[in-house]
Amino acid sequence: MPTQTLIIEAEINKIRALKAFLTAFGISYRTEKTKYSDTTDYLLSSQANKNRLHESIEQLNSGKTEVHGLVES
């Protein structure tokens, strides 16, 4: 059976509930700690990412946004 990866960011109580759910259904999982405490930390970890984040925030604040639907793969 192919393995799929699911990355979840949520509050600790929601993570605990999800782990209990997975365990109850016999679904194996593993957790990994990252060196970044959240997505913003990652985005600010390099100058290129930091610049792109600030550009995106400026676009958002000036109303230069686009709406896109989800693409199923």
Query: Per-residue pLDDT tens for 32-58?
Result: 777 766 777 777 888 998 998 899 999
Does residue 3 fall inside a structural domain? no
For residue 5, being part of any structural domain is answered with: no
When the pLDDT of each residue in the chain is averaged and rounded to a whole number, the result is: 85
In a domain, 32, yes or no: yes
73 within some domain: no
Name the band, by pLDDT with cuts 50, 70 and 90, for residue 9: confident
| Residue 67, in any domain of the structure | no
CB 13 within 8 A of CB 19: no
Res 1 pLDDT > 70: no
CB 54 within 8 A of CB 61: no
- State the residue range of the domain holding 16: 12-61
Judging by beta carbons within 10 Å of its beta carbon (0-12, 13-18, 19+), is residue 31 exposed, middle or buried? Answer: exposed
40 within some domain: yes
For 36, residues 6+ apart whose C-beta sits below 8 A from its C-beta are 42, 45
Count of domains forming the chain: 1
pLDDT above 80 (res 17):
yes
Task: Report residue 21's pLDDT band, with 50, 70 and 90 as the boundaries.
Answer: very high
